[in-house]
Chains A and B, each alone.
Chain A
Amino acid sequence: MPTGADLTALGVTLKLAALATTVLLLLGTPLAWWLSRTRWRFKFVLEAVVALPLVLPPTVLGFYLLIAFGPHGPLGKLMAAVGGPPLAFSFSGLLVGSVIYSMPFVVQPLQDAFAAVGRRPLEVAATLRASPIDRFFSVAVPLARPGFLTATVLGFAHTVGEFGVVLMIGGNIPGETQVLSIALYDHVEGLEYGHAHWLSGGLLLTSFLMLIAVYGLNRRFRVLRP
């Protein structure tokens, strides 16, 4: 059976994943829209930056974030200047890290979905007197719905599964930064394999079910590209 600490970790994990996914959809949608429409010749540089977490060891990302979050790092200084909470070893820091780490899982499906919508439906909407904002919400978003589903599920699932970044920037504070993957690691370290099975099995099943849902509901989209 899961322990009380496990349930606390579950709560932190779900809260983190939900918040990170929300922030990612809010930031990722305009970014993906812009990437799908722009003819800027250097857009591939930005695409590479977005895709970086796919190939970078999470500990590398975590390390740089830790430096940036520190009292002398740029983000740490910024937060201190605006009177915000410290980022290192805090839930807020974890949220920032998760957003960066899961960025490609949200931006790429959205970008592909927007690209698949094409220009024509938006041109039609323009000739039917829909303003650019109106076109975006009344045509682009509904037609890109499969992409939003994929982005939401992948962003959420990937945040639930992160480990390296959390370990580097969040530490292991129960109720604040201790997430499921860290709790699992603790169980294994403590040779509590029974508890480890509960968490691993649960995560495996949940992840599998989420992917089944995504692939089953929209077969048209590639889920990720390197």
Chain B
Amino acid sequence: MRARFRVARGEFTLDVDLSLPASGVTALFGPSGCGKTTLLRAIAGLERHDDGYLQIGETTWQDADLFVPPHRRALGYVFQEASLFEHLTVRSNLDYAANRVPAAERRVPVDRAVELLGIGTLLDRRPAHLSGGERQRVAIARALAASPRLLLMDEPLASLDRQRKGEILPYLESLHRELDMPLLYVSHSHDEVARLADHLVLLECGRAEGSGPIDEMLTRLDLSLAHGPDAEALIEATVSEHDEEFDLTYLDSGVGRFSVARRALPVGSRVRVRVAARDVSLTLSPQSDTSILNIFPATVEEVAAEAEGQATVRLKVGGIPMLARVTRKSAAALGLESGKKVFAQAKSVALLA
């Protein structure tokens, strides 16, 4: 998928040229007012900007002399507020979408959308009688029932409280696994992006500062993501074993074996491990007299100085990027520079599942 748009609106300009993967979840990530929603609306065709080009697979939706109106684009759009049709029941909202899909393009039956979002008990209700979380689940199911080739979501969780977010995130993760449908997900929430995204586009002030696989993007020292207080690395892992005696769960990954507090997850399930840069310390020799369990041999790739005497170190562990936040003094004392062999100790790691 290729999207190029140039939009000038008063002081604000959006100028992006993106090539995005045709599968998986791509997050459009950035602060508010950086053009994420404008870009998503342009991709949907809800706003027409003449200076644009948009191609999905083999289909062109916009170029110099073509503009396919939104109702002829096979897409699904989930707005920040659920925006259900208030005059229709939940079932009719879903049918509204399904009935307008040409038979040849029907890929997601209504029943499947209902099952994926767990809204089977809500079908006969009116939107006015649903909670915020339920409404958003119905809105997502409705977008799926449109059998889109591309699913667009504009901060679908932003208007919900923490608890409701926690209620919907697992459904979004399951979409990811169950459906082969590319998802463009706009968000300014680090947590959501860390849980969902495979690919990340960093938008700042109307420009795409970078675009790439999420593990790469989070750890690139030329981007802002690696420098904030929440800088972290994401590592894909598989649950390999539970330790009854010490109440631990072991995870295998390209980095090595992680030990985390025991979680009730079946062996073999895929999870993401978050390792915050500030929780990683570096040593030159392997420590055995330490309480830290997660220790991996690593190679320093790059070191960047931060404010307040800190430095961020980008490491490669078994080919997978990780970050460590150390003091500049330690970085100098250990002689950290590109190619240096070290041991990374992760004081704590978080499991996303």
A70: shortest Cβ distance to chain B, in Å?
48
Kindly provide the distance from the CB of A52 to the nearest chain B CB, expressed in whole angstroms. 33
In chain B, residues 69-101, which have Cβ atoms closer than 8 Å to a Cβ of chain A? 69-77, 79, 81, 83, 85-87, 96-97, 100-101
A128→B142 CA distance, assembly (Å):
8
A146 CB to nearest chain B CB (Å): 11
Partner pick for B100 among A121, A130, A143, CB 8 A cutoff: A130
A218, chain B: closest CB distance, angstroms: 14
Nearest B residue to A132 via CB reads: B71
Q: Kindly state the separation between the CA atoms of A123 and B41 in the bound complex, as whole angstroms.
A: 10
Question: Any chain A CB within 8 A of the CB of B352?
Answer: no
Counting chain A CB atoms within 10 Å of each CB, which of B44, B73, B74, B85 scores highest? B85
Chain B CB within 8 A of A27 CB? no
Chain B residues, CB < 8 A from A134 = 71, 100
Interface: B146 (CB within 8 A):
yes
Which one of A120, A123, A124, A135 has the highest number of Cβ atoms from chain B below 10 Å of its Cβ? Answer: A124
> Are A127 and B44 in contact, CB atoms less than 8 angstroms apart?
yes
A139: CB under 8 A from chain B? yes
Min distance, Cβ A217 to any Cβ of chain B, angstroms: 15
A120 touches B83 (CB 8 A): yes
Query: Please, which residues of chain B bring their CB within 8 A of the CB of A129?
Result: 71-72, 74, 97, 100-101, 146
Q: Does B83 lie within 8 Å of A130, measured CB to CB?
A: no
| B46 touches A (CB below 8 Å) | yes
Where chain B touches its partner, the secondary structure class is loop
Interface assignment of A188: CB less than 8 Å from any CB of chain B: no
Q: Provide the bound-state CA to CA distance between A139 and B79, in Å.
A: 17
CA distance A142 to B45 in the complex (A): 25
Query: With A121-B85, A142-B87 given, is the CB distance from A128 to B146 under 8 Å?
Result: yes
Residue A126 at the chain B interface, CB threshold 8 Å: yes
Shortest CB distance A136–B (Å): 12
Mark out the residues of chain B between 97 and 141 whose CB falls within 8 Å of any chain A CB in the assembled complex: 97, 100-101
Distance of B94 from chain A, by nearest CB (Å): 10
| B85 touching A127, Cβ below 8 Å | no
A126 to B48, CA, bound (A): 14
Q: What count of chain A residues pass the 8 Å CB interface test?
A: 19
A128 near B100: Cβ-Cβ < 8 Å: yes
Q: Give the chain A neighbours of B83 by CB distance below 8 A.
A: 120-121, 123-124
Instruction: Report which of A130, A131, A143 forms a contact with B87, defined as CB distance below 8 A.
Output: A143
- Measured CA separation A49–B86 after assembly (Å): 34
A206 interface residue per 8 A CB criterion: no
Instruction: Tell whether, in the assembled complex, residue A126 and residue B96 are in contact, meaning their CB atoms are under 8 Å apart.
Output: no
Contact pattern, B 272-309, Cβ under 8 Å of A = 1, otherwise 0: 00000000000000000000000000000000000000
Q: State the CA gap A120–B86 with chains docked (Å).
A: 12
Distance of B154 from chain A, by nearest CB (Å): 11
CA distance A20 to B294 in the complex (A): 82
Query: Which residues from 43 to 69 on chain B have a C-beta closer than 8 Å to any C-beta of chain A?
Result: 44-46, 69
Task: Provide 15 A-B residue pairs closer than 8 Å at the C-beta atoms, listed in order of the A residue.
Answer: A120-B81, A120-B83, A124-B79, A125-B71, A125-B85, A126-B70, A127-B143, A128-B71, A128-B97, A128-B142, A129-B72, A129-B74, A129-B97, A130-B71, A138-B96
Known: A124-B79, A143-B86. 4 other contacts (CB 8 A): A120-B81, A121-B85, A123-B79, A130-B100
* Interface set of A (CB-CB < 8 Å, partner B): 120-121, 123-132, 134-135, 138-139, 142-143, 145
Interface, chain B (partner A; CB < 8 A)? 44-46, 69-77, 79, 81, 83, 85-87, 96-97, 100-101, 142-143, 146
